[in-house]
Chains A and B, each alone.
Chain A
Amino acid sequence: MVTYLDHAATTPLRPEAREAVVAQLDAAGGNSTGSHALARASRRVVEEARDEVADAIGCAPGEVVFTSGGTEADNLAVSGVLAATGGTVVCSAIEHHAVLHPVEAQRGHLAPVTGSGLVDLDALAQLLDGLDDVRLVSVMLVNNEVGSIQPLAEVAAVVARHAPAAVLHTDAVQAAPWLDLRVVAAPAQLVSISAHKVGGPQGVGALVVREGTPLRAQLLGGGQERERRSGTHDVAGVAGLAAALSAAVAERHEAVARVGRLRDRLADGLLATVPGSVETGARATKVAGSCHLLFDGIESEGLLILLDQVGICATAASSCASGALEPSHVLAAMGVPRAAAKGSLRLSLGATTTEAEVDHALAAIPDAVARLREREPLVERSGGARS
C-alpha cells in the first residue's frame, strides 16, 4: 500500500476530470481556432470549460486565460504586467519560484513575512512607501510549503493605500482545493491556478486577468485567448481543469472538515510521539491539508528515503534542478535557522487521504526519526553551499 502524503505537489486525477480528458482525447477534435464543424466542436468544449472555471473563481469568462499550468500563469502575470506598465514589482519572500524567479529577473523587491509565514503588512507598507513606481504586487493565497493562508484582503488594502498604481496578483494554486476563490481571491486583479492541484491533469492551468488590467502577451503567435496567450488550446486539458475544479468546489466544504480532522490527528500524533518536534507556523492560519513539522537533529533528506522505503510519499522543501533538496527560502524567510530547516517534513493531505494512511504515517515516522538520530545525526555546518 502506498501512503500518499504529497498532495501539495500533485493530487490524484479526479474521476470527473479523467472522464472529461478521455472524452476529449477520443473525440475527433479539430483545432479550436478553425471554422469547420470539428473546430467548432473543440471551441465549444474550450468555452464551456471557460464558463465553468470562471464560475469557480468568480470572474467573467472572458477574464480566464488558459495556460500550460501554474508556472506559466505566474510568469505571465509578473512579466506580462511589467511589460505593459514598466515600473517595478514587489512580491512576498515566500512566493513559489514561479513568481520569485520572474520577480528577480525584473529586479523586483521582496516583502518580509512573520515567523508564522504570513506577509508582514507593516513591512509591506514600509517597503511600498520606499519604492517608486510599483506596478505589481504579488502575494500568494496559500504557501505551498507551510500551508499558511495569506491575508489577501489586508494586503490589497495596503497596496491600495501605499502603491495605488499597482495591480495585485495572487498565486492561488495551493488555495484552490481548500478556499472559496470567489471570496478570497476577489481582491486580486490577477489569479493563477493549476489543474493538477485540484485533481485535474498536469500541464494545464489558467490566469484570471480581470477586465482593465494591463497585460502584454508573453507567448506570441496565433492570437488565442484574446491575444493574451497564443498557442493551440489543450482542449482535453482545459476540459479536465474545468471538471476537476467544479468537483473540488462541490465537495470543498465537506473535504475541508474531513481532511482537517485527519490533519489534526496526524500533526498532534506526531508532535506527541516524536520528541524534539515542532509545528511550523500556526495551525489556525493553515489550510486543512497542510502538516509541516521540524524535527531536531536530523536531515529530512534521509527521512524521506526511509519513508519511501515503507511506501510513504512525502517531501520537504522544494528540490533543485538536480533533485537534491535545497535550503528552503520559505523557512529562511520565516526566520527558521538553517540547521533546523534541514529537519523539515511536509506532509500534505488531500481529498483522497484516508484514516489508514494517517495511521501508517503515525506508525512509521517516529521510528524513522529515531533511526536517523542514531545513525545519521545532523552535523551543524557553518558553510552555506549554494544549490
Chain B
Amino acid sequence: MNVLVAMSGGVDSSVAAALLVEAGHDVTGATMKLWGGASDSGCCSVADVDDARRVAQQLGIDHFTFGFGDDFEADVVAPYVAAHAAGRTPNPCIECNRHLKFDRFLRRADALGFDAIATGHHARVERSGGAWHLRRGTDRAKDQSYVLHMLGQRALALTLLPVGELSKAEVRARAAAAGLRTADKVDSQDVCFITATGGRAGFLGPRLDLAPGRVVDGAGNVVGSVPAVQLVTIGQRRGLGLPGGSDARFVTGVDVTAGTVTVGRAEDLLVDEVVVGDVTWVDGPVTGDVEVQVSAHGEAHPARFEVTGQHAGCVRLETPIRRVAPGQSVVLYRGDDVLGGGTAA
C-alpha cells in the first residue's frame, strides 16, 4: 500500500513509519506544521520537524511538511478560546485529531493519491463482521483510543495504527535498534500551544478578557476569589483563595457571565448521569450497557447509554463519579472496543 505517515518527530510515529517500511509498504512521511507561536512541549517546533525529517531520511522515505496553521487556528485554537470564554474546559488535542490529523491530513493524503494514512497512536484498528473496529492499544498504560473516539468507518478504513500492538518499551527498543534519533525522546504531554512559562493565562490573556471572579459557597457567601474565572475547571480545588480548614473547597460550578465560581464538598461533585453532546459513533449508535471513560487515562465506569437526539445522549452511571467538566470528552467502550463518544454538556 501507498501510505502517508503523520510524523510528529516523536518516537511513536517514527516507529510507525519504520514498521510500515519493514512490512513492505510504499511509505512517505509528513509533518504537520500547525503552530507557529511559542511552543515548548510536543508538536511542531522546528526541532521536531527536523527530527521527523531525519528519521525519514534514515528510513529512506520521502518527507514533506504540511503548513496547516490556518486550519489549526480556525478549527482548534479559536474554539479553544471560545470554550474558555464560556467557562468550559476544552480538549484541544481531541479537536486536533478530529479536524487536522483525521480530516485535513486525510484529505491531503487522498489528493496526493495515498491509499491510507498512519499515525503513531497507541490504539488498534481491526476489521471483523463487515465493519471497522477501534480498539484500545495493547499497552493499556499508553492506550490512546480515548483521543481517537471520533473516528468513524470512513476514517478507520483509511487509517493504520502500526504501534497499537506494541508496548511503549517495545517501541523505544525498536527505535533504538534502528538507530533512530527519536528513540529516547520524551513523550509530549501538554497542549502544544500552551507554554510551561506562560501557562493557559499567558496564552488566553491576549485573546480574551480574563476577568477575576468571586468564589461563593452553596449559600452564596463570598469565600474566596480567582484571578480569571474563565480558567477555572469543575472539580478544581487549588488557586481559589480559600481559607484553610474548609471542606467545601471543590469547584462545583463556573458562571462566567456572573463572574462567580461556586465551591462545595467532594460529595457535591458526584453525579450519576452525564449529558453528552456532539456525539459521534465508530459504527452507528449504540444504546444500553457500556463502559464510560471521561479522561485520557482514566478508568472505565460501567454505565448505560441512552440516545436522546441526533448527536446527543445521556450516560447513566452504575456508581456515581465526579462531575465531568463541560467540554471534556466522554467516550463509550465495550471491553476494548470504542463505540463512540461526545462532549460533556
Contact = CB atoms under 8 A, between A and B. Distances in A.
Given A383-B78, A385-B72, A321 B46 contact: yes
A379 interface: yes
Contact of A324 (B66, B71, B107, B108): B66
A320 interface: yes
Given A384-B73, A387-B36, A372 B67 contact: no
Given A385-B36, A386-B36, A302 B112 contact: yes
A325 B32 CA distance: 11
Interface in A299-349: 301-302, 305-306, 309, 319-326
Given A372-B111, A376-B108, A322 B65 contact: yes
Contacts of B110: 375-376
Which one of B33, B49, B111, B113 has the greatest number of beta carbons of chain A within 10 Å?
Answer: B111
Which one of A301, A320, A323, A372 has the greatest number of beta carbons of chain B within 10 Å?
Answer: A323
Q: On chain A, which size bracket covers the interface?
A: 20 to 34
Nearest to A371: B111
Contact of A386 (B69, B108, B113): B69
Interface string B23-56: 0000000010111110000001010010001000
A329 to B, nearest CB: 14
B74 A382 contact: yes
Contacts of A323: 31, 33, 49, 53, 64-65
A305 B73 contact: no
A376 B69 contact: no
Interface string A364-387: 000000011001100101111111
Nearest to B70: A381
B65 A324 contact: yes
B95 to A, nearest CB: 14
A383 B53 CA distance: 28
Q: On chain B, which size bracket covers the interface?
A: 20 to 34
Contacts of B108: 302, 376
Given A322-B44, A322-B46, A305 B64 contact: yes
Nearest to A375: B111
Contacts of B44: 322
Interface in B1-38: 31, 33-37
Which one of A372, A381, A382, A384 has the greatest number of beta carbons of chain B within 10 Å?
Answer: A381
Contact of A309 (B36, B37, B113): B113
A137 to B, nearest CB: 30
A324 B182 CA distance: 21
Contact of B67 (A326, A371, A376): A326
Nearest to B37: A386
Contacts of B78: 383
A381 B53 contact: no
A48 B233 CA distance: 73
Interface of A: 301-302, 305-306, 309, 319-326, 371-372, 375-376, 379, 381-387
Given A306-B112, A320-B67, A383-B77, 11 more contacts: A301-B67, A302-B112, A306-B113, A309-B113, A321-B46, A323-B33, A324-B33, A325-B67, A326-B67, A375-B111, A384-B73
